[in-house]
Amino acid sequence: MPFSDPNSAQNPATGLVAPHGWGTNVDASFNFLRGAKAGCHLTSVVGTAITTDTVLPWATELYDVNGCHDNVTNNSRITVPSGWAGLWFIGASIRCTQSGTSTPFTIKLVVNATTTICQSVSVGVSLFENQHACETIYVLAAGDYVETWITNGTARSTAVASRFYAHWLHSGV
């Protein structure tokens, strides 16, 4: 069956397109993944203090297909469930509060607390809230887990609208 994005697909009966397209709100670009066979999309614990290599907790699930996340036990992790090894799309978008300086911060996606698979450094030119993202496609085995780590040299905390997501794409690599 071909891929169909319900937010931008044209209805063949009417010729009309859904009322909103990509990028019209924070979640629009993730809505097509809600039908994933395995994966989850999480929002952050607002106010998590960021220091050197802070592992972020994620306490709210927008959705979780096949139990990739637990809100209580190891809530910093998205874990690959049994039977869902393969290629995964993984990312985080972190929004931080004002730091009082223009010191940049770094987002890391880390597998099994040892392997950094994606790293992105903010520009650090704003004294106000800023948001930065890191995304990658990576091969994960069943039982592997991914966490978001933030490194920052100045006092900050996470703000509303931070996201962490992982979606299974394909089993054969």
pLDDT at 32: 46
Distance CA 150, CA 136 (A): 16
Q: Are 160 and 60 in contact (CB under 8 A)?
A: no
* End-to-end C-alpha distance for the chain, whole angstroms: 20
Q: What is the pLDDT of residue 153?
A: 59
Q: Which residue has the higher pLDDT, 109 or 26?
A: 109
Cβ(117)–Cβ(134) below 8 Å: no
Point out which residues pair with 54 in neighbouring strands.
150
What's the pLDDT at 23?
Answer: 37
Residue 126 confidence (pLDDT)? 55
Residues 45-68: tens digit of each pLDDT? 667 777 677 888 888 888 898 899
Q: Which position has the higher pLDDT, 168 or 18?
A: 168
The 3-class SS string of the chain reads CCCCCCCCCECCCCCCECCCCCCCCCCHHHHHHHHCCCEEEEECCCCCEECCCEECCCCEEEEEECCCCCCCCCCCCEECCCCCCEEEEEEEEEEECCCCCCCCEEEEEEECCCEEEEEEECCCCCCCCEEEEEEEEEEECCCCEEEEEEEECCCEEECCCCEEEEEEEECCC
Determine the pLDDT at residue 7. 44
Q: Mean pLDDT score of the chain, rounded to an integer?
A: 75
Q: Output the pLDDT for position 93.
A: 86
Neighbours of 90 (CB within 10 A): 22
For residue range 74-132, what is the model confidence (pLDDT) as tens digits?
Answer: 999 999 999 999 999 999 988 777 666 666 778 899 999 999 999 988 766 555 556 67
Map out the domains of the chain with their CATH numbers. Answer: 28-170 (2.60.120.40)
Given a cut of 50, whether residue 30 has pLDDT beyond it is no
Q: 124: which 2 tokens? A: 């650090």
For 134-160, write each residue's pLDDT tens digit.
899 999 999 999 999 887 756 666 766
Neighbouring residues of 84: CB distance < 8 A, sequence distance ≥ 6: 37, 38, 66, 142, 168, 171
Note the pTM of the prediction, 2 decimals: 0.74
pLDDT of residue 137: 94
